[in-house]
Amino acid sequence: MLNTLKHENILSAQEFLLPSRLEYFQEIYILMELMQTDLHKIMSSSQILTINHIKLFLYQILRGLKYLHSVKIMHRDIKPGNLLVNSNCLLKICDFGLARSLPDQDETSKRNLYMTTEVVTQYYRAPELLMGATYYNWGVDIWSVGCIMAEMFTRKILFESGSPIEQLELITDLLGTPPPSATRYACPAARAHILHPSSLLKLPCLDPLLSLHHTTCSDSNNSSPNAFKQIHSYSTNGCSQTFSKNHDTHCKDAKADPRRVPLTPEALHLLLRTLSFDPDHRISADRALTHGFLKEGRRRFEGLKVGGKDAMSCNKWSGYYDPGCESRLGSTQRIKAALHAYLMDIYEWKNPPLLINQFSPLYPKFKKTASHMSSSS
């Protein structure tokens, strides 16, 4: 995937280091672009992020996901630590260790397709994964984006819990108990648990997000009530009532953390579209990129300068990952042989000069292996 996906917001492989003979192929070293930091380190620091930073980062995340999803790849581990950032605010998605291609499926094939739920770091895991769904789609990446978006505003993890069950409870605390149709991909036991008649029916309660709207009531009273009512058009029943009931209270209680960014109604609209409990109602990366909140992010991205040249445009996307290649690899040995042959074919193999650190803890193992390879040849 790293070698075939070519996009400005996807970390690409520059070179591969591996032995020229298959029998010695035990390790592979991938040389990739050098990036300066990641979004997790930025949000954990005292660095101030403005709303324009958030718009720019979010635009690039969704831009990279639009490309991945267009070539039928789910990343399945979108989190701040996998979003690399440079000082010029250029962002690239990395770590495809959990990525998977998803071929087109009809309804019958979907029911027979098994997909693991052990993906995505728990804090950013979509509810269908928490509920044991064996089939899911691109929406799992979009849910993660919503969690990250909220985290950029609050500088706190939105759903921080100690277990998947507690994680699901935090989600329903915020979004309310989902309708039965929103749990159709869940395993029967999880569906029965969350929809059990004896369970307390939860209404949407967006208090943690409302407290971010404004830091002073005078600002909010002048500008926000009508904008908040507009969100009712797509939100679940009760959301807009929760807004109007709790907004004035929570603007008084907003914490004075200088790193927190006020959440505008437009931002909240997009956030709730990404955090739809029903994955089929979750906004796509393509649609999210056209949202009004990201208009400024698009403008700023197009103005980026990379290497003294104007920033990249969408028509420079290239590369395509063939999902069919996975079906032809039925064993570890076949994968190993196919990968070795593929890389040897696309690169004119030349043993690159390597500077070995003799003080590395791994040096004795390297020296022993190198001596063995030399004597064998």
| Residue 286 within a domain | yes
Residue 22 lies in a domain: no
What predicted TM-score, i.e. pTM, was given to this entire model? 0.76
Residue 312, classified by CB atoms within 10 Å of its CB into exposed (0-12), middle (13-18) or buried (19+), is middle
Q: What's the pLDDT score for residue 375?
A: 61
Q: Which pLDDT score, from 0 to 100, does residue 105 have? A: 60
Closest of 320, 297, 345, 22 to residue 152, by C-alpha = 297
251: in domain: yes
pLDDT in tens, 297-318: 998 998 875 544 444 444 344 4
Helix (H) or strand (E) holding 342: helix 332-346
At residue 198, does pLDDT exceed 70? no
50: tokens are 């403005």
Question: What's the pLDDT at 167?
Answer: 85
Per-residue model confidence (pLDDT) at position 368: 76
Mean pLDDT score, 345-361: 62
Are residues 92 and 75 in contact, defined by beta-carbon separation less than 8 angstroms? Answer: no
Which DSSP category does 178 fall into? P
Share of the chain above pLDDT 90, in %: 25
- Largest Cα span, the chain: 80
Active site residue 77: yes
Which one has a higher pLDDT value, 172 or 296?
296
**202 or 225, greater pLDDT:** 202
Number of domains in the chain: 1
**371 or 208: whose pLDDT is higher?**
371
Dist. CA 111–CA 209, nearest whole Å: 36
Whether 91 contacts 35, CB under 8 Å:
no
Confidence of residue 58 (pLDDT cuts 50, 70, 90): very high
323 CB neighbour count, 10 Å cutoff: 15
Residue 149 maps to a domain: yes
Identify the H or E element spanning 74: strand 73-74
pLDDT for res 285:
94
More confident residue, 325 or 338: 338
* DSSP tag of 155: S
Name the residue range of residue 162's domain: 35-312
d(CA 105, CA 108): 8
Does pLDDT of 291 surpass 90?
yes
> Is residue 53 pLDDT above 60, yes or no?
yes
The pLDDT of residue 223 is 33
Residue 110: per-residue pLDDT:
55
On whether residue 259 sits in a domain, the answer given is: yes
Assess if residue 266 is contained within a domain.
Answer: yes
CATH number, position 188: 1.10.510.10
Contact criterion met (CB below 8 Å) for 143 and 274: yes
Q: What pairs with residue 74 in β-bridges?
A: 100
Q: Retrieve residue 29's tokens.
A: 């070293």
- For residue 215, being part of any structural domain is answered with yes
Nearby residues of 45 by Cβ (< 8 Å), 6 or more positions away: none
Average pLDDT over residues 41-68: 93
Encode pLDDT of 78-127 as tens digits: 999 999 999 899 999 999 989 988 766 655 555 556 777 778 888 998 99
Q: Show the tokens assigned to 57.
A: 């980062």
Kindly state the tokens that stand for 102: 């998803």
Asked if residue 249 has pLDDT above 80, the reply is no
The one catalytic residue in 77, 95, 253, 345 is: 77
As given in the structure block, the two tokens for residue 166 are 């507690």
pLDDT at 217 over 60: no
CA atoms within 13 A on the CB side of 328: 8
Judged by DSSP in three states, 362 sits in: coil
Is the pLDDT at 266 greater than 80, yes or no? yes
Is the pLDDT reported for residue 17 higher than 50? yes
Q: Tell me whether residue 339 is in a domain.
A: no
The reported pLDDT for the residue numbered 215 is 40
DSSP bridge partners of 32: 13
Helix 265-274 to helix 139-154 angle (10° resolution) is: 140
